[in-house]
Amino acid sequence: MIRTLISMPYEIARLPLVAVDHSLTSRLAETSVARMTLDRAIGSADKLAGTLIGDREIAKRGSDRLQHAEKVRTAARLEQEADTKREQARETAVSGLQEADVAEARGKQQAKAAAARTAATKRAAADERAEKREEVAERRKERVEAAATAKKRTAQQRAGAELDDARETREAAAEERADAERLDDLVDAAKDARKQD
């Protein structure tokens, strides 16, 4: 009874903040700076007031709100990191594929040029020697093409690994967001239980 009388002025003084909070909830995203700042302010005020007046429920309400705000902030940060990694992976994939295509084209040109020079130089020689040298040039061309293909495959694998890393970061962000939502549900349930009391 005495605790209720002591906490009543705080609850009345808190009403304008709660009204602003309800107004922002419907209009702003949970990760917006204004909502997160207000959540931290209300949570800190509840925690401090609950501690000062000895009301554990108010202090717990503040702690729960601060934890929720931190989880939302962490989830937003992880989601931003996932987006950044995904974009970097896309850029790496595109860049790697372009480099591999250029290397492959250059390799083919060099191999063809080498084969043509070899053939032109050796035309005067015997047919058998000219044939053998063309075979050597062809094998060189195949090696260059194989090297370009291997470089292209490596770039694709690297890009795939970066995409997997970005996907894992997004999943971690989703888990953090789910934890924040569960904590929010628990806080709402506790509020409903207090209202019924």
DSSP string, 3-36: HHHHHHHHHHHHHHHHHHHHHHHHHS-TTSHHHH
pLDDT at position 97: 80
pTM of model > 0.75:
no
Cβ atoms of 155 and 93 within 8 Å: the answer is yes
Q: 35: which 2 tokens?
A: 């909502």
R_g of the chain, CA atoms, integer Å: 33
**Distance, CA of 174 to CA of 180 (rounded, Å):** 10
- Give the structural domain span for 115: 2-196
pLDDT at position 48: 93
Average pLDDT for consecutive 10-residue bins of the chain (197 residues)?
71 86 83 88 93 91 95 93 94 84 85 84 80 91 91 92 91 90 86 80
Q: Please tell me whether residue 138 adopts helix, strand or coil conformation.
A: helix
pLDDT at position 3: 63
**Distance, CA of 196 to CA of 137 (rounded, Å):** 88
**Distance, CA of 151 to CA of 132 (rounded, Å):** 29
